[in-house]
Amino acid sequence: MTQQQNGKNNMIENEQQPTRQVILAGLDQQNENFDYEMTELANLAAANNMTVVGQIVQKLEKPNASTYFGKGKVTELKEALTYYDADMVVTNDELSPSQIRNLETGTSADIMDRTALILDIFASRAKTKVAKLQVAIAQLKYQLPRLRTSMNIRLDQQTGGGGGSFTSRGAGETKMETNRRHIQHQISLLQAELANIEVDDETRRAHRAKQSIRNVALVGYTNAGKSTIMNGLLERFGEKPDKTVFQADMLFATLETSVRKIQLPDKQNFLLSDTVGFVSKLPHGLVAAFRATLAEAADADLLVQVVDYSDPHYQEMMATTTATLKEIGVGDVPMITVYNKADKIPEQAYPDRAADTLILSATDGASQDLLVDVIKEHIFSDYVTLTLHVPFDEGQVVNELNEQAAVHELDYDETGTILTVTLTPIQAARFSQYEMNK
């Protein structure tokens, strides 16, 4: 079964699961992107198999330290939950443990903040060992400061009323400290396991660098079309065209970095990496956990920022991408910008180019050709075209050049083969002894 089929089956399974009725809640703190964040929150909830039945918004300069909302709004939220027959509130911001506890008490409903929602989505989508480790670490770090709320409730029930309130509280605190140490130990073990994998990945990247194989990384907002671009290029130029990556019109369809080799007709080749998509307010712990996955972007020779040009909020998405790249330490890698999904915009001409900015459709052949041409301009700029003279008794060199390099002209004289070829810097140094007119 292919990755595409597996992904489709997973989507069908999710669709068959009963959805949970939720109400979205957010504080408008005079943030110009607030409406966009709430729209995105609704999309995240849908991606987590939730049905949004209502929305509560309050304008405040800063969140209420105790309940996030003001007291009157908490009452309104409880009434809305009853009216819509919902049993969960999803907030647009990350909440403190006490805010979650007090809101749950005030509304008699479950409270999930934006961070927990994103972690939930990542946990359900993680497929590889690396992704599962990264998500597990992020989840444990999120849970650690929130142990007091959840553990006290459970431990109070366990201890009952036999020893009085003071005794119960002491037992609860002792048990909670034990659980805290246990979680910290789990985090350490998972981080050590992840570090071992990172060493292996770093070794592979170093080996590729030594071979002078260029690496191009697709970066950008979730659901911008990165995987679609990768699959389009793989089907046309892939070393193994069947090794496509999972793609779907959904947030966070890709959580792992997939690296594939693109073999162009002129024998030039490069590695193409499809990275995890970004989203506004991406939890810091998740960014830190996925630093290993995003290392492909940090080590790339060229970044291709893919933007959903058909989305009215594409500029905010680009700002989020820039901020996230900066947070993971990717600031000085050359980048081109691809405004994708131009086919969804009426009367928009494509493919089109202005310097390092492209307007295209990922599924369009002419768009793919333009993208490849621009990529080549960047990553092969230090390649050199030379004329070599190879003696007839060194035919294996000619064979190697035909297999690994772009041979533009081929001729012969009395003593050997004359080739005009384009070579990588490493190849040029290796075959320099055959160069004519030195």
> Are both 220 and 313 inside the same structural domain?
yes
Question: Quick check: 40 pLDDT over 70?
Answer: yes
Q: Are residues 57 and 8 in the same domain?
A: yes
pLDDT surpassing 60 at residue 236: yes
Determine, yes or no, domain membership for 399: yes
What's the pLDDT score for residue 9? Answer: 46
Q: Which residues contact 206 (CB under 8 A, 6 or more apart)?
A: none
- Indicate whether 166 and 272 sit together in one domain: no
254 and 151, same domain (yes or no): no
Query: Residue 285 — φ and ψ, nearest 5°?
Result: -65, -30
As a whole number, mean pLDDT of residues 278-294 equals 71
Domain that holds residue 409: 384-434
- E strand or H helix at 151: helix 147-159
Domain boundary among the residues 112, 144, 168 is at 112
409 is a domain residue: yes
User: Where does a domain end: 82, 112, 142?
Assistant: 112
In a domain, 256, yes or no: yes
Mean local confidence (pLDDT), 65-86: 95
Position 375 scores a pLDDT of 97
- Give 135's pLDDT tier (boundaries 50, 70, 90): confident
> Is the same domain home to 301 and 414?
no
Same structural domain for residues 349 and 415?
A: no
In terms of domains, do 287 and 430 share one?
Answer: no
Q: How far apart are CA 396 and CA 327, in angstroms?
A: 49
DSSP states along 33-66: THHHHHHHHHHHHHHTTEEEEEEEEEE-SS-BTT
The candidate with the shortest Cα–Cα distance to 224, out of 54, 344, 140, 105, is 344
Residue 155: predicted pLDDT: 31
CB-CB neighbours of 362 under 10 Å? 24
pLDDT of the residue at 274: 85
pLDDT value for 116: 93
Return all residues near 314 (Cβ < 8 A) that are at least 6 apart.
307, 308, 339
Those residues whose C-beta lies under 8 Å from the C-beta of residue 342, and which sit 6 or more positions away, are 309, 310, 348, 349, 350, 351, 359, 360, 361, 367
186 exposure class (CB count in 10 Å sphere: 0-12, 13-18, 19+):
middle
Q: Write the CB contacts of 46 (distance below 8 Å, at least 6 apart in sequence).
A: 52
Do the Cβ atoms of 19 and 49 come closer than 8 Å?
A: yes
CA distance 177 to 194: 26
pLDDT > 70? residue 96: yes
**pTM value?**
0.75
Instruction: Give the pLDDT band (50/70/90) at residue 292.
Output: low
Q: Any idea what the Cα angle at residue 238 is, between residues 237 and 240, rounded to 5°?
A: 145
Q: Decide if pLDDT at 7 tops 60.
A: no
- Final residue belonging to a domain, choices 197, 228, 245: 197
Encoded tokens for 152: 């006290």
Please give the pLDDT value at position 67: 95
Residues 366, 224 share a domain: yes
Across the chain, mean pLDDT equals: 83
Packed helices 71-84 and 97-107: angle between N→C axes, nearest 10 degrees: 60
Same domain? For 373 and 393 the reply is no
Shared-domain flag, residues 243 and 360: yes
At residue 98, the pLDDT reads 92
More confident residue, 155 or 175: 175
For residue 208, is it within any domain? no
Confidence of residue 296 (pLDDT cuts 50, 70, 90): low
Question: Tens digit of pLDDT for each residue in 322-369?
Answer: 988 888 778 788 999 999 999 999 999 999 999 999 999 999 999 999
Structure tokens at 273: 């990496």
Is residue 252 scored above 70 in pLDDT? no
Q: What is the CATH number of the domain that holds 55?
A: 3.40.50.11060
Under 8 Å CB-to-CB from 298, ≥6 apart: which residues? 328, 329, 330, 333
Query: For residue 388, with 0-12 CB atoms within 10 Å meaning exposed, 13-18 middle and 19 or more buried, which class applies?
Result: buried
Helix, strand or coil for residue 418? Answer: strand
Cα–chain center distance at 358: 21
Flag whether pLDDT at 111 surpasses 70.
yes
pLDDT at 152 > cutoff 60: no
Closest residue by Cα to residue 320 from 33, 114, 91: 33
Higher pLDDT, 236 or 257: 236
- CA-to-CA distance for 335 and 15, rounded, in angstroms? 37
Structure tokens belonging to residue 403 = 């297999």
Q: Please state which of the ranges 21-30, 83-92, 169-178, 335-344 shows the lowest mean pLDDT.
A: 169-178
Same domain, 14 and 74: yes
Mean pLDDT value of segment 361-381: 95
What is the number of structural domains in the chain?
A: 4
200-226 pLDDT, tens digit per residue, is 666 665 665 555 688 999 999 888 999
